[in-house]
Amino acid sequence: MNFTHRVSIIGGGGNVGAAVAFALVVMQLPVEILLLGASEKSARAQALDIRDAAHFSTAHCRAGTSEEVGCSDIIVITAGARQRPGEPRSNLIDRNYVILDSIIKKIQPIKPTAIILMVTNPVDVLTSLAQKLSGLPKSQVIGSGTFLDSGRLRNYLSRKLNVNSNSIHASMLGEHGDTQFVGWSVASIAGSPLLKHPLMANVDLAEIENAIAHQAYEIIEAKGSTYFGVGYHVAALIKCILTDGHKIYPVCNYNAKYDTYLSVPAILGSDGATPINLNLSDEEEVKLERCAESVNHSLGQVNEFAVHVNEE
């Protein structure tokens, strides 16, 4: 069969990688999905299992080689360590930086028009590093960012307001980490500010923000990891890129004002992410600055760590 596009998933032997592949199969995209794992055995096993479902679909799934991955249209990276119960995402940086560095070296040469879609945590910091390590233009390297958190927020609001989540425009912003916040001032429903909705009158906004930012901790505490939610969200991003959808999604993209990668809405198409202007309130702008400081602080730690590793 001839496929229009090739999507590779590095970390495809694990839970999140497999969930992304499965969601692509369910979405019926005409794509060839290649899985690359730390060992060929795990990626091959996941590919065989997904292939058992894929015969209902227009997508095909198999294990790939690093050369094939490098010349894919979209390179999704889910490889790496995940949080233990109670552990913040930022704790994973040293372990996952080493893995990312080895992966980017292994898949060279990377197709110049490829889009790298980072999912491994801490995703905002690693997206910035993936851009530096790969040398691809900033617009072509993005992270899933707060897209998943925003889905969680819309789900919550949907239940509260009894309105389909697709009709509610509200996003978690900043970083896919503990400093993320709700962009209440730019949230809307039926063309009106969300906070003017009668059912939003007496809600505790800080409590909602905190609950959404900590939802992953709750799931990890109970079942060890999260993967279905992120799998579908990442597949939706892939669909938007492959179809040049130009949808506006809160993804991790390069922010010129803070000279770092942050999770804020951007237009997503076949050439990657195009930033848009956000009219946040002054208070939210301060929160965004705090997220930029948090991402830059982790980047500083990585640089020190990388020097240390190189000296050993």
Ligand X SMILES: NC(=O)C1=CN([C@@H]2O[C@H](COP(=O)(O)OP(=O)(O)OC[C@H]3O[C@@H](n4cnc5c(N)ncnc54)[C@H](O)[C@@H]3O)[C@@H](O)[C@H]2O)C=CC1
Q: Judged by CB under 6 A, which of 120, 134, 226, 255 binds ligand PYR?
A: 226
Q: Is 231 annotated as a binding residue?
A: no
153 binds, among ligand X, ligand PYR, none (CB under 5 to 8 A by kind): none
10 binds, among ligand PYR, ligand X, none (CB under 5 to 8 A by kind): ligand X
176 is catalytic: yes
Q: Please, which residues have CB within 8 angstroms of residue 215's CB and are 6 or more apart in sequence? A: 149, 152
Q: How far is the CB of 146 from ligand X (least distance, A)?
A: 8
Residue 143 or 272: the one with the smaller Cβ distance to ligand X is 143
Q: Is 121 annotated as a binding residue?
A: yes
Q: How far is the CB of 267 from ligand PYR (least distance, A)?
A: 23
- Per-position DSSP letters for 104-136, written without gaps between them: HHHTPSPPTT-EEEE-SSSHHHHHHHHHHHH--
Q: Is 148 in the site for ligand PYR (CB under 6 A)?
A: yes
Q: Please, which residues have CB within 8 angstroms of residue 108's CB and are 6 or more apart in sequence? A: 70
Q: How far is the CB of 234 from ligand PYR (least distance, A)?
A: 11
Active-site hit among 5, 60, 169, 176: 176
Binding site for ligand X (CB under 6 A): 10-11, 13-17, 36-38, 42, 78-83, 92, 96, 99, 102-103, 119-121, 123, 144, 148, 176, 225-227, 230
Q: Is 120 annotated as a binding residue?
A: yes
Say if residues 80 and 100 touch (Cβ distance below 8 Å).
yes
B/e letters for 208-242, b = 16+ CB within 10 Å, e = fewer, are bbeebbebbbebbeeeeebbebbbbbbbbbbbbbb
Say if residues 23 and 30 touch (Cβ distance below 8 Å).
no
Q: Is 174 annotated as a binding residue?
A: no
Q: Is 130 in the site for ligand PYR (CB under 6 A)?
A: no
Pairwise CA distance, residues 205 & 128, whole Å: 30
Q: Is 164 annotated as a binding residue?
A: no
Q: How far is CA 188 from CA 33, 150, 157, 169, 211, in A?
A: 36, 13, 11, 5, 20
Pairwise CA distance, residues 8 & 220, whole Å: 26
Q: Is 153 in the site for ligand PYR (CB under 6 A)?
A: no
Which residue numbers belong to the known binding site for NAD(+)? Answer: 11-17, 96, 119-121
- Interface ranges with ligand PYR (CB under 6 A): 89, 121, 148, 216, 226, 230
Looking at the annotation, which residues are catalytic?
176
